[in-house]
Amino acid sequence: MVVGDFPIELDTLVVGAGPGGYVAAIRAAQLGQKVTIVDKGSLGGVCLNVGCIPSKALIQAGHQVENAHGSADLGISTEKVSVDFSKVQEWKASVVNKLTSGVEGLLKGNKVDIVSGEVYFVDKNTAKVMDDKNSQTYTFNNCIIATGSSPIEIPTFKFSDRVLDSTGALNLDEIPKKMVVIGAGYVGSELGSAYANFGTEVVFLEGAKDILSGFEKQMTQLVKKRLKKKGATIITEAMAKGVEETKDGVKVTYEAKGKEETVEADYVLVTVGRRPNTEEIGLEQVGIEMTDRGLVKVDKQCRTNVDNIYAIGDIVDGPPLAHKASYEGKIAAEAISGEKSEIDYIGIPAVAFTEPELATVGMSEAEAKEAGYEVKVAKFPFAANGRALSLNNSDGFLKLVTRKEDGLVLGGQIAGPNASDMISEVGLAVEAGMTAEDLALTIHAHPTLGEITMEAAEVALGTPIHML
């Protein structure tokens, strides 16, 4: 980067190249804007580099190990399964590299300028981009801020070689014999499950009454059952108090049921949430309004109180989901171009890649009733589906929440294999205002897990074929 005495003029500056930022940049460029995207890290942000993608790769490798041990039910047994964890990490890195290279190609193909550095706002139309050596000033007509979030660090659990955040847990060079996981939400439950499949003894310490808050108890019970089958210990309503690091491991102190306890392990993974990356970039210079939690206030077009600056993703209200950030990125880019696009989260899904997978979209039964709807709930078990039985993976169910008067699909919840893929059909039904009859009349291929959606719709109509 050359030190710039003269500012570079842009239509749109995008700050942050994660799944919100790079999607916003591409959409803005498609709409004819001259766009520069800036990030101090790697293209793809947390999601592609140290989040969604590498964690799913590690989870998949764990499944392979579990499957390699065979199944007595299927008459398959193996004498010995070995894992070269360095090879697992190499494969995981190759998946990440393919995707980050792909993002770079997409940005360049859409004529988006890519700049590496940290951004500091000077005023509502000016920002400085700095690296270790140089500084360049940019002026812009509009800006989309997509700086993402970082793991929350507990003061008594400072991150180190033995006290890990999610990034550290993804990049271990060994399979731990024992691991303590503080926080059993999405990240903790997913990574804990993955390491349990590799043979790690996992102890979960969760402060709430149940794991995976946000999902219904019927769903989380299935996950707990699988975790316990893998030898995991789950301690709820537990308060982590401190950690003592040793040369070879950690000793974690926690309180549960009024008693102070300790547990020793090789590592402790801390997954208690994320904080928005909104500090030290000069937002106060611009006068951007923030919430008490450090989130940026935005309207339905992702516009801040400063009319030419937009914010998306983890730094605005709502769940910190990659697909939410991408969706908002498109809205912001289109709003800048004068389109009437607005946020509508009615069909946004949430997924946990646990065992079994959990997925939800639209309203739950409780939320629909609270909103004043008279509802009908239809449930169909995976155990009554031929494909699930042939996969030897039939724990779980699909639940449809419909409006009683006309069968309008208000939401759905799935616990079972491939729930992450199956939820899209229910999401489409919610988004498009479809009814249970629409789903029931859609011919689904046989034998597939997708048939479960059709079967649940038939239950909603009172005409189930494969269920009494």
Amino acid letter for position 145: I
Is residue 238 within 8 A of residue 254, CB to CB? The reply is yes
Reference 356, options 234, 189, 233, 203; nearest CA is 189
pLDDT at 5: 56
Tell me which of 63, 323, 444, 446 is the catalytic residue.
446
Q: What is the mean pLDDT of residues 429-446?
A: 98
Q: Alpha-carbon distance 42 to 201, whole Å?
A: 33
What is the widest separation between alpha-carbon atoms in the chain?
A: 77
Chain segment 410-424, per-residue pLDDT in tens = 999 999 999 999 999
pLDDT of residue 1: 39
| CATH number for the domain formed by residue range(s) 163-272 | 3.50.50.60
Instruction: State mean pLDDT over 269-294.
Output: 95
Domain with CATH 3.50.50.60 in the chain: 8-150+275-345, 163-272
Angle between helices 186-197 and 52-68 (to 10 degrees): 30
Level-2 CATH architecture, domain 8-150+275-345 = 3-Layer(bba) Sandwich (3.50)
Give the list of residues 6+ apart from residue 340 with CB closer than 8 angstroms, or none.
none
Q: Is the dihedral of CA 193, 195, 198, 202 positive or negative?
A: negative
Within the chain, all domains assigned CATH 3.30.390.30 are found at 356-461
- pLDDT category, 2, cuts 50, 70, 90? very low
Q: Is the pLDDT of residue 3 over 80?
A: no
Which residues in 293-317 are b (16+ Cβ under 10 Å) and which e?
Answer: eebbebeebbbbebeebbbbbbbbe
Confidence of residue 73 (pLDDT cuts 50, 70, 90): confident
Q: Name the token pair of 76.
A: 């398959």
Q: What is the pTM of this model?
A: 0.95
Q: Active-site residue 446, yes or no?
A: yes
Cα–Cα separations (whole angstroms), residue 250 to 133, 135, 184, 264, 312: 40, 43, 19, 6, 38
| Mean model confidence pLDDT for the chain | 96
Band of pLDDT at residue 247, cut at 50, 70 and 90: confident
How many residues in total does the chain contain? 468
CATH class of 356-461: alpha beta
Helix axes 419-432, 451-461, angle to 10 degrees: 50
Provide, rounded to the nearest whole percent, the portion of the chain with pLDDT above 70.
99
